[in-house]
Structure 1
Amino acid sequence: MMLSAVIGFVSGIFAVIIKNLTHLIQSLLEGKFIANYHDAFYFIFPVIGLLIVYFIIKFVFKRKVGHGIPTTLYAISRQKGIMKRFQMYASVITAPITVGFGGSVGLEGPTVATGASLGSNISRIFMMNQTSRTLLIGCAAAGAMSSIFKAPIAAIIFAIEVFSLDLTIASLLPLLIASVSAILTSYFFFGSEIILPFELKDAFNISEVPYYILLGILASACSLYFSKIYFNFTRILAKITSPFARLIIAGLALGVLIYFIPPLYGEGYNVVNNLLHENYLQALGNNLFNAYLDNIWVVILLLAGLVVFKIIASSLTFSAGGVGGIFAPVMFMGSAMGHCFALILNNLGLFKNTISVSNFTLVGMAGLMAGVLHAPLTAIFLIAELTHGYELFIPLMITSAISFMITSKFQPHSVYTMELAQRGDLLTHDKDHTVLTLMNITRVIEKNFIPIEIDMNLGDVIHQGVVKSSRNIFPVIDENRNFMGIILLDDIRPIMFDEKLYNEVKVQDIMQQAPEIIDIENDRMKEIMKKFQDSEAWNLPVVKEGKYIGFISKSKLLTAYRQKLIEVTV
């Protein structure tokens, strides 16, 4: 409990530092010296920022700085929640430079990762087990989100949804303490100022329910678009093997995009705020179509353009080596989507009554959060807390639920967890899956099996294998230690005492294929368990790049499973 309060406080401090450093850089770039030329510098600012980040990572940190929440989730699932110490300060330096110079990403992910690394390393000092370490990482995440948005309840739900924490008193109390500690820190430094200052003006009308259903469907489509563009752009640009060349290409593309669409510069919360207050002309800023903004359909097309191009700008930022998160881009796209949707309905002339544009802007943010992040409860409570009321609770629930249900049908994992899930490294609320993910395969490999070379004869097998071994199974390997098959003691028992056959019978005559083979580099525990189940074998060979390593026995595997289950659930 005491550590959760400390971690919440420090996470709040980190949030303040990261946010203020970003604002300081932006204010310097927008200062008097270049105020009159700022639009012209849109092209070059992102490249300068990305170059600075590149050189800091290459020559100062000398190791990769991960992308916030996915890095933290990987540490929980594959590294027992242990995060390297440099992660406590790496994002504090690189994320403000990335965003301050115009990188089209958010600061929430780096703030969460910074606090999570702190929680991980504090837990190591106090020699806590993996369960407690994971909980402290969740406390750091809750603290960071609580401090940034001044939404303590949504922050707790975010930690539970994203980090798959158990919904128990044992976990809720530390999360609550961390969240409160962080928000008090935020109030101390920022007062009552919040990132999205807004008060509801229009009440929810039951006649608008069909429109919120349509908005949920639209949000799911935009969520799928977000994910497809994000992963496709990242994969395509990753084919450029030189990090510096990739930075230049992606950085210049980002600069061009921001030059023609200035609202894509930085996090974009100023754009979101303008949309919430229905100042769409200010939200769009100076652009090539200023002369046509008196036409509402031009405005609608430009807002749709923000939805289309924001994720492209974010993907370019990440591919160029920028450090940031996707939470802010999701809120940016969601607000533009909801605003655009409401303007379309109000200007079609098909309906007697107009709908609240600001309400649909808010609910649009929740819909996209529910779809992209797979965090519908976080989306609902965050928007409710930001507006200081629950008048929009019903439309938030409708749109978020529809968006999440449709999106998860076509894409079962969020942007945060997609790559981890594909590798089998993702922890979920499924206890069986969690235990299997956390188990270490190398600890259950047995190596007291005597290998038999494939060019041996029966006599060699008896004298060099059977006589010296207490096991009834023998792996067959070639001269390069490549795994070829197995010999069972039962297979040679009828002939093992006939010395006349010792030179005549070769290993190739008595060996057989293994029922299944475990690849230590590609097979996760879930696949290994399935191989034992399907083959009904008690021992299966383990290989690495085709070379024999050892065997895994079903009995040892089940014993290790039970021990890990006890660790996870205690």
Structure 2
Amino acid sequence: MQNADIQTQRFKQLPMLTLMGLATGLITGALIGLFNWLIELPQLALHTAKLVDTLAQLPSLWRFALPIIGSILLWAIWSRQETHYRRVGITHLHEHLSYKHTPLPLPNLLNQLLGAALTLGTGHPVGREGPGVHLGAAISSLMGERFNIPASQQRLLIGCGAAAAISALFSLPLAGILFAMEVVLLEYSITGFVAIIVAAVSADRLTQTLFGGATHPTLLADPVNFSQELPLILLMALAVGLLALLFQEIQVRTAQRRGPLLWRMLIAGLLVGSVATVFPEVLLPVHLTTLGAISELFSLQQMLILLACYLLLTPVLLGLGIPGGVIGPAMAAGGMLGAILATLSPDMQIQTEVSNYALIGMAAMMSAIIHAPLAALVAVFEWSSSSHILTAAMLVIVGSELLMRSIFKRPSIFERMLSLQGQSRNTRAYRRILMSIGVADVMNRSLSLTPENLALEQQEALARENTWLIQRINGRMRLARGWLTSDNEPEQSSELLELPLESPSNWQQVAIITERSNLLQALDLMQEQETTLLVVTQRDVPVGVLSYAAIQAQFEAHED
């Protein structure tokens, strides 16, 4: 019954959730616009000065120096920060969602914004979507704190920000929605869908209106001839699985051998600068090379070199701690792989479209590395504007996922990077359930603040009319059990009081929790204080009592 009441209450919150989604979508879209502008600032400056149009057109000396300058500037900013403030990206979101109950920290947001803008703006071949997701989730979380959104809705705000960021960066609102559910929140809920859908759509519309068109081509994919192309599809699934494993292993093994921050940044800058000296295309933004693979703008030799860069150089940079994303390079590598196989397919007596396989490769490589098959599949549909290649995409995505999960037994790259910090993405059901329910939804509101020195008749009346009696003594609260029974108390949480009230055996000292907290915070506080009861306050005024028995009953009702 309690579970049904809470579900009814959540559906009543749909208008508020819709407004939350709209607000997070708009603010995230604006922040992503600022982020993109900061990234493109060096290139805009060069273009305005009429020197070059892209970083790849710089003289070789500048191509070598620019990434090193970016890395040194990043070190200069980050070296002044405490280590926990330098944790950024989607791995940081996983850590926060698993172990923290507070909004995402502002210093981490600023370090992510400036750090990613520096490295991406100076040509490091990493993605902008990881930083973008962090920025969207953090600004949404902080906005929720500013407007006193309950802690039970903080996870949803983070999901809204993540979906809005993907939507704003790639103009893929559907994929952004599934990404938030599949990768960030690791759960699906009907009420949560509403806010996340509104956030993704509003961010996409704001970005399209203020900052221009989509960052992906509008394609109408041709049908796949399975009788002829099935061998190529199976080959691609195998290649994606193997190369995704290679990418993950390089990044994880590099991260295991991290040294001091200065040396890591210098090594990253030197690696990118050295490659850029002989192969300028590595300085191109990752999303542009992805579009180039789809549009067949690169020669076979260029695609092979770019594939090698994204599979060998990029994971080293990410393992060294460069604050960039993994999804963009994964998609670029998959796009190059698909385009290469399609280009070589006539030698196998197979005729196919390069753009089809570039799209499929992008989605499959992303899914294999971060384990987001639904988001990847929907991205194919949104990019291709057609369902003609979805079956082929499903075969490649499922095949590469089976290799990574069942044969190689590798979790997502985010989980592996989190495990290197001695942590794990805690996905236990009880934590997710309790984090999504506020204490105000479960607490017993039948209480009375009881003054001292009452007549016996008054004491008896209070005991009969309330489940809980509260007294504030020397700034601390103590609690006694009244005689009124309540559906909110599945079983007696303490002994019923005996008159007179002044008897010390009636009272017990209790801890205090605010009404904006969630049930997981309450449970953690109970364990810390070694108690089974909490007084819930609003602006330091008692408004309810929460018992361990009520939390347990709520969890059991939710499971049923």
What TM-score do the two structures reach when normalised by structure 1? 0.69
Out of 245, 251, 271, the residue aligned to residue 230 of structure 1 is: 251
Counterpart selection for 1:49 from 51, 70, 87:
70
Residue 403 of structure 1 is matched in structure 2 by 400
Gaps of 5+ in 1: 282-298, 439-541, 543-548
The match for 1:275 is: 293
**What is the aligned-residue RMSD (CA, Å)?**
3.2
| 1:108-123 equivalent positions in 2, closer than 5 A | 108-123=129-144
* Residues 126-137 of structure 1: pairs in structure 2 closer than 5 A: 126-137=147-158
Structure 1 residues 101 and 135: alpha-carbon distance in aligned structure 2, compared to 1, 3 A threshold: same
- Show the 5 A alignment for 1:307-326: 307-319=307-319, 321-326=321-326
Match of 1:143 in 2: 164
Q: How does 1:115-514 map to 2 (within 5 A)?
A: 115-191=136-212, 193-200=213-220, 202-207=222-227, 208-236=229-257, 238=258, 240=259, 242-281=260-299, 299=300, 303-319=303-319, 321-346=321-346, 348=347, 350-351=348-349, 353-409=350-406, 410-420=408-418, 423-428=422-427, 431-432=429-430, 434=432
Once the two structures are TM-superposed, the CA of residue 61 in structure 1 deviates from its matched residue by 8.2
Q: Distance in 2 between matches of 1:52 and 1:183?
A: 32
Q: Does the aligned pair in 1 maintain the 2:368–2:397 contact within 8 Å? A: yes
Contact 1:370-1:379 at 8 Å conserved across structures: yes
1:404 Cα deviation after fit: 1.2
Instruction: Provide the rounded CA distance (Å) in 1 between the counterparts of 2:20 and 2:254.
Output: 40
Q: 1:105 to 1:29 in 2, by over 3 A?
A: farther
Tell me what 1:21 maps to.
Answer: 38
Q: Does 1:562 align with 2:546?
A: no
**Match of 1:416, SS?**
helix
Amino acid at match of 2:328: A
Q: What is aligned with 1:521?
A: none
Structure 1 residues 220 and 5, CA, compared in 2 at 3 Å: closer, same or farther?
same
Q: How much does 1:383 deviate? A: 2.1
**Is residue 112–residue 323 contact of structure 2 (8 Å, CA) maintained in 1?**
yes
Residue 411 of structure 1 aligns to a residue in which SS? coil
Alpha-carbon offset, residue 92 of structure 1: 2.4
Q: Relative to 1, partners in 2 of residues 1:127 and 1:277: Cα closer, same or farther, differing over 3 Å?
A: same
Q: CA deviation at 1:37?
A: 4.4
1:202–1:359 Cα contact (<8 Å) kept: yes
1:39 corresponds to 2:57: no
Is 398-407 or 124-133 further displaced after alignment? 124-133
Q: How many residues align?
A: 433
Tell whether the 8 Å contact from 2:24 to 2:140 is kept in structure 1 after alignment.
yes
* Compared CA separation, residues 133 and 159, structure 1 to 2 (3 A): same
Q: Contact 1:267 / 1:328 at 8 angstroms: preserved in 2?
A: no
Q: Write the distance in 1 (CA, Å) between the matches of 2:559 and 2:327.
A: 31
User: In 2, distance between residues paired with 1:102 and 1:563?
Assistant: 55
- The amino acid of 1:200's aligned partner reads L
Question: Mind listing any 5+ residue stretches in structure 2 that lack a counterpart?
Answer: 1-17, 437-526, 533-547
The CA deviation string for residues 224-266 of structure 1, in whole angstroms up to 9 with x for no partner, is: 1110011112223x0x2x3212222332122112323333225
Give the whole-Å Cα distance in 2 for the aligned partners of 1:197 and 1:405. Answer: 30
TM-score computed with the length of structure 2 as normaliser: 0.70
Q: Secondary structure at the match of 2:413?
A: coil
Query: What is the alpha-carbon distance in structure 1 between the residues aligned to residue 82 and residue 38 of structure 2?
Result: 19
Percentage identity across aligned positions? 24
User: Structure 1 residues 360, 124: closer, same or farther in 2, change over 3 A?
Assistant: same
Aligned AA for 2:318? F
Shift of the alpha carbon at 1:99? 0.4
Structure 1 partner of 2:8: none
Check 1:67–1:311 CA distance in 2 against 1; reply closer, same or farther (3 A cut): farther
- 8 Å CA contact retained: 1:107, 1:328: yes
Q: What CA distance in whole angstroms lies between the structure 2 residues aligned with 1:567 and 1:419? A: 35
Q: Is the 8 A contact 1:251 1:316 kept in 2?
A: no
Which residue of the partner structure matches residue 536 of structure 2? none
On the 8 A contact 2:70/2:269 being kept in 1, the answer is: no
Residue pair 2:74, 2:119 contacting (<8 A) in 1 also: yes
Question: In the aligned structure 2, how far is the partner of 1:550 from the partner of 1:412?
Answer: 39
Deviations 1:141-169 (A, max 9, x none): 00011111111111100000002343222
The amino acid that maps onto 1:375 is A
1:442-495 alpha-carbon deviations (Å, 9 max, x no partner): xxxxxxxxxxxxxxxxxxxxxxxxxxxxxxxxxxxxxxxxxxxxxxxxxxxxxx
Deviations along 1:380-407, one digit per CA (max 9) or x if unpaired, are 1112112222222111111111111211
Cα distance change, pair 200–16 in 1 and its aligned pair in 2 (3 A): same
